[in-house]
Amino acid sequence: MSKAYFSAPVAGATTISRVRRDVAGESGGAPALAGLPRWDLSDLYDGPESPKLVTDLDQADEDAQAFARVWQGRLDSLPGSELAQALAEYQRIDEVLGRAGSYAQLLFAANTSDSGVGRFAQSINERLTGISTHLLFFTLEINRIPDDVLATQLADPALAHWGPFLRDLRVFRPYQLSDEVEAVLHEKSVTGAAAWNRLFDETMAGLRVRLGGEEVTLGSALDTMSSPDRATRERAARAIGDVLGGNVKLFSLVTNTLAKDKAIMDGLRHYPRPTSARNCANMVEDEVVDALVQAVTEAYPRLSHRYYALKAKWLGLEKLEYWDRNAPLTTQDEPLITWPDATRQVMAAYEGFDPRMGKVARQFFDNAWIDAPPVPGKASGAFAHPTVPSAHPYLLLNYRGRTRDVMTLAHELGHGVHQVLAGEQGYLMSNTPLTLAETASVFGEMLTFRALLDAQTDPARRRLMLAAKVEDMLNTVVRQIAFYRFETLVHDERRKGELLPARIGEIWRQTQVESLGPAFSFTPDYDAYWTYIPHFIHSPFYVYAYAFGDCLVNALYGVFRSGHPGFQDKYIDMLRAGGTRRHKELLAPFGLDAADPGFWQKGLDVIAGFIDELERV
């Protein structure tokens, strides 16, 4: 029930959109990538020593204590209009805390190896936790209001406005503990899971891999595994395996501790299984997630197994090694795409879909809302952070000028547009569950891909683009469900006792063999590759949201391509809804239903159709 305001560099579902790719690092300094934009965080605060930051936190502390004195112990006896007044004041204070937490988080994400920034971020987290302790009673007390009393209060139009927030809050009602226990758990969070998250982040940021006589970051080494030269990929893969294997005991300790911590929390709250807390946060039923996972795992043979068998044939190999998974299908280096060209390509797709969406997207380029260069010490991957509605979102990228980086820009920009539009709902109701948060991002990526594919007249280049898109979709759907299966097995087994590093590696290999299929062989060093996936540490069971979003968007895009009347208006209305509507309500105008067993097949059939086309080439 408590809110984690900061967990660097990737926080919980309420604050940040997930790291998109699992390959990142610094660039080689190519001239074509000069002048990449850096963000300007002064729209939040003008520095860690900002007097405004000090004033805001001091005032929020004072306001939070006054809030508790006025409202605590009274909520079930208030008329609806007064409870609405309390909610408005709670949102105002909470947004101040969210602004400070966002600033600390973003500052750390761009400077993960700076100990001074790490210390500042931790101090902000501790301060926010202390202040928010005064507010903790509010949501707990709301959930103790009897249903009939709350129904009477909601008859007041002023409180009815807050209905979606109250609806989603009460999902957690069965799992709520006493106020005293919740307060202890809340205050100790900074020395519990958040501390282990920080240890993971700082360790990862400090790892160096020796390649070609040079020490490079882990992200840069991972990027080398996409080299067109197989020997280069193998050297990078084995060097990464050595580094991860050398640190596997530490990462196993972090994983075992966090899994045990989660098991304790789940037991206290009586969640039926390890995934249930995440599903509640995503406002999606366990059965819907189960149906998604089953559909994807049953589709492994016709998707990933089939595609990678084709890839092995194209590369002239009897077997693929794990370092061949991201191998390009041409030995020629891909031409670098400059930032201005990437901007034009993505904006053309967004504006071509609807000028209103293009107008929102343009703000990110016209203002310093994007941090693009892949520099040492920066968080790997990519994300979109909504911050608070009174400010604006920020995008973090590690742009290297490849087609996949253009797709990542299109993806994160979709998040940003969604976050701007949803901000109209206010701080408490703008946040979208993870399962729907990926909708705008994947849709924006699909728009960009289709525009580029339709403009491509060279059959060979078109085939390469189509294959790259299939690989991206497999990474988003199949790979993420394999990650989810890995987490499920680890958390289930951890409940029986601590897992040795070798056992975690066995589970990792099992899920990878299942998902990637017989085209691959795996050397023992791959067993340590689970260690660098940040989702497992920061957001257990987050990963299925990618598959959910991709399959959902495939179905949604099919509706768009069919000429569904008023699609753009309905789509923008869906984004503006933020967290006020559930997935069933949002998809109904398009004639879609995620609870329908055939829904997921529609999304998977799109991927299968692309592979069909590649087989015919």
Q: Which domains does the chain have, with CATH numbers?
A: 31-191 (1.20.140.70), 208-242 (no CATH), 247-332+437-617 (1.10.1370.20)
Alpha-carbon distance 504 to 489, whole Å? 9
d(CA 586, CA 593): 9
Q: What confidence category does residue 188 fall into, taking pLDDT thresholds of 50, 70 and 90?
A: confident
The four Cα atoms 275, 278, 283, 287 give a dihedral, to 10 degrees, of -10
Instruction: Give the confidence band of 278 by pLDDT, cuts at 50, 70, 90.
Output: very high
Q: Which helix (H) or strand (E) element contains residue 320?
A: strand 320-321
Q: Within its chain, how far is the Cα of 184 from the centroid?
A: 28
In this prediction, residue 8 carries a pLDDT of 31
Q: Pick 557 or 331 by higher pLDDT.
A: 557
8 A C-beta contact, residue 9 and residue 114 = no
Helix (H), strand (E), coil (C) string for 503-515:
HHHHHHHHHHHHH
Provide the β-strand partners of residue 211: 214
pLDDT digits (tens, 9 = 90+) for 16-35: 333 333 333 333 445 567 78
DSSP state of 532: G
Q: What is the CB neighbour count within 10 angstroms for residue 585? A: 11
Asked which of 1-10, 237-246, 454-463, 571-580 is least confident by mean pLDDT, the reply is 1-10
In whole angstroms, give the CA distance from residue 365 to residue 342.
Answer: 11
Residue-wise pLDDT tens digits, 368-403: 999 999 988 888 889 999 999 999 999 999 999 988
Amino acid at residue number 293: V
Rounded Cα–Cα distance for residues 431 and 425 (Å): 9
Name the pairing type of β-strands 520-521 and 320-321: parallel
- Tokens coding 458: 């060279």
Cβ neighbours for 164, distance < 8 A, ≥ 6 positions apart: 429, 579, 580, 581
- Cβ(592)–Cβ(603) below 8 Å: no
Give the whole-angstrom CA distance, residue 2 versus residue 416: 25
> What is the per-residue pLDDT across 545-585, written as a single tens digit (0 to 9) for each?
889 989 999 999 989 989 999 999 999 999 999 999 988 89
Does residue 597 have a pLDDT over 90? no
pTM for the predicted model, two decimal places: 0.82
Here the tokens at position 386 are 């909504």
Query: Backbone phi, then psi, for 431, in 5-degree steps?
Result: -70, 135
Report the alpha-carbon distance of residue 380 to residue 393 in Å, rounded. 18
Angle at 54 between CA 48 and CA 57, to 5 degrees: 115
In this structure, is the dihedral angle defined by the CA atoms of residues 30, 32, 33 and 35, taken in order, positive or negative?
positive
pLDDT of 9 over the 60 cut: no
Percent of the chain with pLDDT over 70: 94
Tell me: pLDDT of 14 over 70: no
Range in 45-54, 63-72, 604-613 with the lowest mean pLDDT: 604-613
Per-residue pLDDT at 439 exceeds 50: yes
Confidence of residue 124 (pLDDT cuts 50, 70, 90): very high
